[in-house]
A and B are shown apart, each in its own frame.
Chain A
Amino acid sequence: GAVVSQHPSWVICKSGTSVKIECRSLDFQATTMFWYRQFPKQSLMLMATSNEGSKATYEQGVEKDKFLINHASLTLSTLTVTSAHPEDSSFYICSALSGLADNEQFFGPGTRLTVL
């Protein structure tokens, strides 16, 4: 099956710094990737849709200047959390659209971000 990787799997940073998270589709090309965040004991909330070669589409309430998304190739999307603060601490998960007609998304293993 299709495999999606994320790097790093966890990161701890100081408040005010920026953190970049990578999402890669390893064995397929993904024109569309999605970024989610998941707070403890909560469901996944879609942050943005990332399309290769174009600007990301952000969900309502998500600050595009704080969560920078770049989808520079068909296998890589990056999420940069700029000027991170403790309230940005969360589990960030990406997914990649398989391109099949059934709209199945393949999920990465997630990145745990802790901002001190």
Chain B
Amino acid sequence: AQSVTQLGSHVSVSEGALVLLRCNYSSSVPPYLFWYVQYPNQGLQLLLKYTTGATLVKGINGFEAEFKKSETSFHLTKPSAHMSDAAEYFCAVSGAGEYGNKLVFGAGTILRVKS
């Protein structure tokens, strides 16, 4: 079984400040981990993903995340927030490879960027 916990349903940062969105997962099989962004009334866009290899993953728009197996975490960061980053962010987990391809999503975190 798999589950995802995103700490903080709302996060507010000032423009130019560090963005940190927290994600912890639970998985009984090796996980693949994803971060998606959703703008209002739109589908999901992949920011980045961890499958195998390097645990620090770089994605689009300056975002990155680090897979920490010992902490079962996959927190999303961005050094400097931009107004256009305001959106909802979802962390998701699936099984790695043959362990399954269903995505289980966290509850989401709404990021607000203040000018």
- A residues contacting B by CB (< 8 A) are 4, 6, 32, 34, 42-46, 49, 91, 93, 95, 97, 101-110, 112
Contacts and interface: CB of A to CB of B under 8 A. Distances in A.
B51 A110 contact: no
Contacts of B107: 42-43
B42 A49 contact: no
B90 interface: yes
Interface of B: 32, 34, 36, 41-46, 49, 51, 90, 94-97, 101-108
12 contacts: A34-B102, A42-B108, A43-B107, A44-B90, A45-B105, A95-B103, A101-B51, A103-B32, A104-B34, A105-B101, A105-B103, A110-B42
A102 B46 CA distance: 13
B105 A49 contact: no
A44 B102 contact: no
A61 to B, nearest CB: 15
Given A42-B107, A43-B90, A103 B41 contact: no
A49 B95 CA distance: 15
Contact of B42 (A46, A97, A102, A109): A109
A104 B90 contact: no
Residue in B32, B34, B44, B46 whose Cβ sees the most chain A Cβ within 10 Å: B44
B102 A46 contact: yes
Contacts of A110: 41-43
Residue in B42, B43, B45, B90 whose Cβ sees the most chain A Cβ within 10 Å: B43
Nearest to B98: A101
Contacts of B32: 102-103
Contacts of A45: 105
Residue in A6, A104, A108 whose Cβ sees the most chain B Cβ within 10 Å: A104
B43 A103 contact: no
B97 A103 contact: yes
A112 B102 contact: no
A34 B32 CA distance: 17
Contacts of A46: 102-104
A103 B95 CA distance: 8
